[in-house]
Structure 1
Amino acid sequence: MSKHDEIQDGGRDMNRDPITKAPGAHPVGVGVGGAAGGVAAGAAAGTVFGPVGTLIGAAIGVVAGAAVGKGVAERVDPTGEVEYWRDAHTNRDYVKSGHDYDRDYAPAYGLGLQAREADRTRGWDESEADLQRQWDQSRGASKLDWDDARPAVRDAWDRTDRTYDLYARSDAYHADAFEKASYRDADADYSHYQPAYRYGAYARSRHADRAWDDSLASELERDWPNRRGDSPLDWDRAKAAVQDAYVSHDQYTGGNYLRDNSGRDDTDRFRVG
C-alpha cells in the first residue's frame, strides 16, 4: 500500500469495529476524570450510540477513552476540547444564563464530539433522532431539554468535522512533501511521521495566535506520548515534523490540498475554532 493509498477516506483509516466491521465504530476506554473512569472502562462500542448513551453523564471527559490504543493519533484531542469549550461556550448565543457548564453544557458537547468520532459515515440529519433519544435517556443532571441541548451538540459535531477536514488537508500536503523533508530519518516512512503532522496541524488550530517557539514546543512535548499512536518516533525525532505542520498551516489550508474539493479555496472552513 502506498502512502497515498493510506490517506484515502479523507486522511483517516476506517477504524472498523472488530465485531460488526462497521467503519468508524470505536471502543471507549477510561475517561479523563474520576466520574468517567468506572463507567467508561466497561463500555464497548457494540452499537454506534450505545457508549454515548452510557457515558453521557460523565460529560466531555469520556472521549479521552478514544485515545486508548490504536488510532490515538487520528482523534480529536479530548483534553484540548474540554479546554476549548469551557472558554468558547461563553460566546455562544444559545447558552442560557443560570446554567452551569460542567453540569449542563459539557455533556452536550461531549455527545456531539463522541458521536461524530464514533460514526463519520452518517450526516447530522440521519443521526439527530438517535442523538435526541440518547440525550433524553442519558443527560444525567443537565437541565437542558433536547431543544436547548441540540445547538451545543451540533456545535461540537461540526467542529469535529472541521478538525478531520484539517487532518485530511495536512495528510495530503505532507504526503506529497515528505520525500524531500530534511528531517526525515532514512529508516522511517510516512506513516511514522503522520501522527506528528496531525499533531502540529491540530496544535495550530488550538493556538492560532502563537508563533512557534521553545515555550510552545515544550508544551507540545508533554503531550506527545499521548498523541503519537503507533509512531515509533520519540519527541526529538518527531519535533521537526510537528513544527513543519504548525508553521506551514496556511499552505495546506488553501484550495490545493483537499481531495474532491472541486477547486474551492475555503480556508475559513478549516479554522476549527
Structure 2
Amino acid sequence: MNDTTTRDSNPDPITGAPGSHPVGVGLGGTSGAVVGAAIGSLLGPIGTLIGGAAGTIAGAAAGKGVAERIDPTGEAQYWESAHASRPYYDNKYTYDDYNPAYAYGDDVRARYVGRTWDDSLESEIRDGWETAKAKSRLTWEQAKDAVRDAFDRSDRTYRTYEATDDYYASAHKTADYYREDYDYAGDYRPAYRYGTQARANHAGRQWDDSLEADLERGWDTAKGTSRMAWAEAKGAVRDAWHGVERVLPGDADRDGR
C-alpha cells in the first residue's frame, strides 16, 4: 500500500489552491471553500437541474433551495484518471473497487445538505456502505477516505457553482457575446457551468485550440436546456474558464482553515 503518512493538500478543484485539510487526516475537519452553499450542480447534462436532496442550505445561502447532484459521468472520468495518485490508493485494488466509494461520497453530499464531514456524519453513513459498495472489495475502513475525498470535492463544486451563478446572473448581459433572445437560466448558465467544470476537470491545461476542440465535442451532451450551438456558447464557456479568479478571488479555502 502507498504510504498514507504523506497526505496531499486536497486542492480546490477549480483554483488548485490547497484545501482546508489533508485527505484522510482529522475526520472532524471542516470542508474548504466557504464561498456560500450551493444551488448549482449537476445530474446528467450541465444545464439540467434535477432534484436531489431537499433542504435548507447552510452558510451564506441559508434557505436558498435544493441540493442537486454533480455530473456523475464527468466525476467518474475525473476519478478514474486521478484515483491512483490519491494518498489512500492501494494498488491491490482497481478503479472498479474505488468507483463505488466516489459515487457514495457524491450521494452523501447530495443527501446531507449543509453538513460537514465529522465523526457524527461518518457514523451515520458507514452502514450504508455495505449496500452502496456493490462489487467493491473495500471495507469501510479502506473506502472511507475515498468517500470523503468525493464528498469534499462535491462540496467545493457545489459552492463554486453558486458563486459562478450569482456572478454571471447579472454580468452576462454586459458580455460582448450576449444575445437578448437567449435567457440566463436556460441558455447561458449551462455554458458558464460547463466552463467552470472544464476548469476543474482539465487542471493544468491552457485555453487553446486543442482544449476548445475537446470542449466543443462535449457541448451537445453537456448543454442540457441551452438552445445555443457551440459557436454561440463558447464565449460564455471561455469566460467562465478564465473568470474563476474573478468570481473566487484568491484562495477560496482561506476562510475554512
Q: TM-score, normalised by structure 2?
A: 0.68
| Aligned amino acid, residue 223 of structure 1 | G
Q: How many residues align?
A: 200
Partner of 1:134: 128
Pair 1:75–1:137, CA change in 2 (3 A): closer
Partner of 2:11: none
CA shift digits 1:61-86 (9 cap, x unpaired): xxxxxxxxxx9xx7533233222212
**Correspondence 1:13-28 to 2 at 5 A:** 16=51, 22-23=54-55
| SS class of match (1:242) | helix
What CA distance in whole angstroms lies between the structure 2 residues aligned with 1:127 and 1:229? 33
In the alignment, structure 2 segments of 5+ residues that lack a partner are 1-35, 42-48, 57-65
CA shift digits 1:166-198 (9 cap, x unpaired): 112211221231121111112122212011001
What CA distance in whole angstroms lies between the structure 1 residues aligned with 2:51 and 2:200? 27
What CA distance in whole angstroms lies between the structure 2 residues aligned with 1:87 and 1:15? 26
Pair 1:100–1:9, CA change in 2 (3 A): closer
**Correspondence 1:176-191 to 2 at 5 A:** 176-191=170-185
What CA distance in whole angstroms lies between the structure 2 residues aligned with 1:179 and 1:106? 40
What CA distance in whole angstroms lies between the structure 1 residues aligned with 2:111 and 2:141? 23
Of 163-172 and 145-154, more deviation after overlay is shown by 163-172
Q: 2:6 matched to 1:12?
A: no
Aligned partners of 1:203 and 1:246 also within 8 Å: yes
Q: 2:251 matched to 1:266?
A: yes
Residue among 220, 236, 241 paired with 1:225: 220
What CA distance in whole angstroms lies between the structure 1 residues aligned with 2:54 and 2:151? 20
Partner of 2:45: none
Q: TM-score, normalised by structure 1?
A: 0.64
Of 74-83 and 235-244, more deviation after overlay is shown by 74-83
What CA distance in whole angstroms lies between the structure 2 residues aligned with 1:87 and 1:164? 21
Of 104-113 and 154-163, more deviation after overlay is shown by 104-113
Aligned partners of 1:15 and 1:23 also within 8 Å: no
Partner of 2:106: 113
What CA distance in whole angstroms lies between the structure 2 residues aligned with 1:220 and 1:75? 21
What CA distance in whole angstroms lies between the structure 2 residues aligned with 1:122 and 1:268? 17
| SS class of match (1:267) | coil
Of 235-244 and 131-140, more deviation after overlay is shown by 131-140
Q: 2:146 matched to 1:152?
A: yes
Q: 2:239 matched to 1:211?
A: no
**Correspondence 1:56-205 to 2 at 5 A:** 75-102=69-96, 104-125=97-118, 127-191=121-185, 192-205=187-200
Report the alpha carbon displacement of residue 252 of structure 1 after superposing the two structures with TM.
1.2
Identical residues among aligned pairs (%):
43
Aligned partners of 1:197 and 1:245 also within 8 Å: yes
Aligned partners of 1:16 and 1:23 also within 8 Å: no
| Aligned amino acid, residue 206 of structure 1 | N
Pair 1:97–1:207, CA change in 2 (3 A): closer
What CA distance in whole angstroms lies between the structure 1 residues aligned with 2:91 and 2:51? 41
What CA distance in whole angstroms lies between the structure 1 residues aligned with 2:199 and 2:182? 24
Report the alpha carbon displacement of residue 200 of structure 1 after superposing the two structures with TM.
0.3
